[in-house]
Chains A and B, each alone.
Chain A
Amino acid sequence: MTDDKSLNMRRAIAAAMEKSHREIPHYYLETTVPMDAALNWLAEENARRAPPDRLLPVVLFLKAFAFAAKSFPEMNGRYVDGAFRPAESVHTGVVVALRGGGLLAPALHDVQEKSLSEIARALTDLVTRVRSGRLRGSELTDPTITVTSLGDEGCDRVFGLIYPPQVALVGFGRIREVPHRVVSATLAADHRVSDGLKGAAFLNAMAKLLQSPQTLETGR
C-alpha cells in the first residue's frame, strides 16, 4: 500500500470508530465454547480433502454465527435516523487485516445458505481480493452484522467496536488448550436495540451450533 492509501485508510477507520464509540451504547458478553468436537470433526474431514478444499476453523465460526444471526433479528440490521431496521438477509462483514496495517470488513453474502466448502471458497476469494485491492464498492456497504476472528496468531479474546450503522459484532479469539480446546466468543451489541438477555441467547445459540459440526455441514 502506498503512504497515501495507508493514510486514507487510517482516517476512514478513525472516522467510523469515533462515530461508533460516540454514538453506540455498547454492551459486552463472552462465552467459552468447547471446540474438541468441532476440531476433531474438522481434522477427519480435512484428511479426506485435498489442500485447496480444506476447511479452516473460521469457516465453522462463520456458519454457526450466520445461522444464529438469522434467528436473532435484533442483532442483524442497521440503526438509522433513530430507529432500528432489521435486515432480511444476513450479510456477514468479515474483518480482514491488511498487511502493513489497516483493515476492511467486506460482506460475505447469505453465509447461512452456503455449504462449508462454499464458505471456504468465498472467504479465500474475499481475503485475496481485499489484500489485492479488488473489492467491489458494494461489498463494503452490504454487511448487516460483523464478525472478527483473530486466528492462531491472535490473543485469547477480542472486544470489538460495532461498525455503524450495524448493531452487533461477534469476536472469536484464538483456539486455546486448557487442556481441552476452547475458543472465546464475544458479543458487542447496541443497547438501543437489544438487551443482555437477548444477546446471551444469541451467543449461546451460536455456541451450541459450533458444538455439533455435522449440523453445520448439512444445514442449509
Chain B
Amino acid sequence: MSPVLTADEIRAKVLSYLSDIAPEIDAKALRPDLSLREQTEIDSVDFLRFVSRLYEDLGVNVPEADYAGLDTIDRIVDYLAEKMPA
C-alpha cells in the first residue's frame, strides 16, 4: 500500500487526472472553490472517466449518490482525504 497522501498530493493528482481527461483545461487556472462544470466543458462521460481514475489509481469507489457533492476541486480533495484507504 502506498503511504498516506497529504491534501496537497491529493490535489495534485486530481488536477493531473482532469488534465488527462480534458487536456485543453488549464488545471492550474481553475478556481478550486467554484463549480467544475461551470468552469469547464466536462460532461457526464468525462466525469465517469474521472471517477474511474479515482477508483483505479487511489482505490476510492465513489458511489453515484455522492457524485453531486463532488462539484468543486476543494470538495473532491476533502472527500478523497476522508475516503482514501490508509
Contact = CB atoms under 8 A, between A and B. Distances in A.
A152 B67 CA distance: 13
Interface stretch (B6-14, B37-45, B69-77): B37-45
Contact of A51 (B41, B43, B45, B52): B52
Nearest to B45: A127
Nearest to A98: B41
Contact of A100 (B24, B37, B43, B62): B24
Given A46-B64, A50-B55, A50-B61, A123 B24 contact: no
Which range contains the number of A residues in contact with the other chain? Answer: 20 to 34
A4 B63 CA distance: 42
A56 interface: yes
B55 A123 contact: no
Interface in A110-154: 123-124, 127-128, 131-132, 151-153
Contacts of A124: 45, 48-49
B56 interface: yes
A127 to B, nearest CB: 5
A54 B48 contact: yes
B84 interface: no
B64 A56 contact: no
Dominant secondary structure of chain B at its interface with chain A: helix
Nearest to B21: A128
Contacts of B5: none
A153 B22 CA distance: 17
Contacts of A47: 63-64
A133 B42 CA distance: 17
Given A50-B55, A51-B55, A52-B55, A152 B61 contact: no
Contacts of A97: 41, 43
A56 B48 contact: yes
The 6 closest A-B pairs by CB, nearest first: A52-B52, A51-B55, A51-B52, A51-B51, A99-B41, A127-B45
Interface of A: 43, 46-47, 50-52, 54, 56, 58, 97, 99-100, 123-124, 127-128, 131-132, 151-153
Interface of B: 22-24, 37, 41, 43-45, 48-49, 51-52, 54-56, 61-64
